[in-house]
Amino acid sequence: MNKTLYSIAAWAILAVLLGSWLGSTIGWAVFALGLLLMVLISGMQLQKIRGWVRDLHQPPPVSIGPWDEILAPVYRQLKADREQIASLNRGIEAIMLAAEALPDGAITLDESMGLQWCNQTAAEHLGLNLDTDMHHSIFNILRAPEFTQYVSQNKWDSPLLLHTEQAGLDKSLLIQLSPYGFGQFLMVTRDVTQVEKLETTRKDFVANVSHELRTPLTVLFGFLETLREHPADSFSVEQRERYEQMMFEQAQHMQAIVADLLTLSTLESSPPTEGRPVRVSLIIQHALEQAKALSNGQHQFVENIDPALCIVGSENELTSAISNLLTNAIRYTPKDGTITVSWYSTEDGGACYSVQDTGIGIAPQDIPRLTERFYRADKGRSRATGGTGLGLAITRHVAMRHNAELLIQSQFGTGSMFTLRFAPLRVRTL
């Protein structure tokens, strides 16, 4: 403003000087001209400022005279505010990203339990549609009486375990509600479906092991009791020998179960070893010798074995898988059946070990469950041939630890083919 006053004063002095020299009319005319010039310049400057106001991100225009003193600090303040807002936005964005990265679902609810915000994990857990469910009451979204009851309590010390169904699949969710801020709520969800499944599997496993061991133990116990309660001379030598043989078989069965359980537990708990190239043909030959002894001339064997193919891995584990499949073929193939054992390379550089039999076959509904621990399609035959119900579970584990797949093809009443297909990265050739 000072500049404007100085300019007016300068024009006034000039007008007074010219007025006293050339007459007052000239003096007034010069003064009026000066003021007019100042108004014109000021109008042009205002025009520039008007243009700048439309885009405040730009620095104020130059040559705006006295306005510069006013607009420069305004612009500096605007710039500082903008930077502060950007920094706050960056902070909010980082928090949002962190909330998205949470392994648990997070939902914020307003005081009337309306959905305010949720991360992607929570949307997946509860099947939320972020476009349509926002601001809707959580009770309309999660319609479960247990949930309504949980929310209606005033303290939420422990989480709620909620069993829901989504897209036809059962889901178990842990839900924890906590109040925060001014009447708002934070709801954390965790998918515990797998944990629950594992717990059920563990319980089933313990029950199965107890059941498997109880049967031979009961038989063993029964014989021992009979022998103890009767005088030694009340049994003939043959009778005693028969009892002893039966007890021996039961003890042997229990030993086989315990041995297989230990193998399984080692496979499950130890990390897979890199191993070294193993000559699979030698293992197959050895397993075939044992298989022929077990078959006792009752089956025909067809062999188609590539002697040069090796697999990088554990010799013990491979031996166990190879002989499991071969022993099964004999146990589930009646007399005069044919067993074909093949070990060959595949076009993609992998390798396959397959055992095909002309045995009893497996019903289609049993095939997907065969590798479950203690699952038996033919219980009678499995027990009669001393099966533990763990052989294929062990084989599947060995396969997984060697980048291999266990494929089962079978036709009930006609025969089966079990194949271990190894990935190229495990295969070596001599």
Q: How many residues bind ligand ADP (CB under 6 A)?
A: 21
Whether the Cβ atoms of residue 359 and residue 334 lie closer than 8 Å to each other: yes
CA distances, 345 to each of 17, 123, 243, 352, 403 (Å): 115, 47, 50, 6, 15
Q: Which of the residues 132 through 151 are near ligand ADP (CB under 6 A)?
A: none
Query: If binding is defined by CB under 6 A, does position 321 make contact with ligand ADP?
Result: no
- Please report, as residue ranges, which positions from 229 to 268 form the binding site for ligand ADP (by CB under 6 A): none
CA distances from 160 to 116, 171, 177, 359, 379 (A): 21, 13, 9, 51, 41
Nearer to ligand ADP (CB atom), residue 160 or residue 360: 360
Q: Which stretch binds ligand ADP (CB under 6 A): 184-192, 221-229, 266-274, 327-335?
A: 327-335
> Under rule CB under 6 A, which residues in 391-420 are in contact with ligand ADP?
391-393, 416
Six token digits for residue 396: 């599947």
Which residue number, 104 or 405, has a Cβ lying nearer to ligand ADP? 405
Task: Return the H-helix or E-strand segment holding 184.
Answer: strand 184-191
Structure tokens at 199: 């717990």
| 147 versus 332: smaller Cβ distance to ligand ADP | 332
30 vs 362 by CB, closer to ligand ADP: 362
For 61-92, give the secondary structure using H, E and C: CCCCCCHHHHHHHHHHHHHHHHHHHHHHHHHH
Residue 107 or 394: which CB sits closer to ligand ADP?
394
Structure letter (DSSP) for residue 164: E
Residue with Cβ nearer ligand ADP (116 or 210): 210
| CB half-sphere exposure, 349, CA atoms < 13 A | 6
Q: Looking only at residues 330 through 389 of this chain, which bind ligand ADP when binding is defined by CB under 6 A?
A: 332, 357, 359-360, 362, 370, 376-378, 382, 387-389
Distance between CA atoms of 61 and 63, rounded to whole angstroms? 7
Task: Name the minimum Å distance from CB 424 to ligand ADP.
Answer: 27
Residue 170, strand partner residues: 165
* In contact, 361 and 335? CB cutoff 8 Å: no
Residue 360 vs 398, nearer CB to ligand ADP: 360
Measured from the CB atom, the residue of 171 and 376 that comes closer to ligand ADP is 376
Q: From the centroid of its chain, how far is CA 270?
A: 21
Between residue 198 and residue 217, which ones bind ligand ADP under the rule CB under 6 A?
A: none
Q: CB of residue 332 vs ligand ADP: minimum separation in angstroms?
A: 3
Question: Residue 367 Cβ, how far from ligand ADP at the closest point, in Å?
Answer: 9
Min. distance of Cβ 232 from ligand ADP in angstroms?
A: 37
Torsion, CA 269, CA 273, CA 275, CA 279, rounded to 10:
40
Return the residue of 151, 261, 341, 390 that touches ligand ADP, per CB under 6 A.
Answer: 390
- Footprint of ligand ADP (CB under 6 A): 324, 328-329, 332, 357, 359-360, 362, 370, 376-378, 382, 387-393, 416
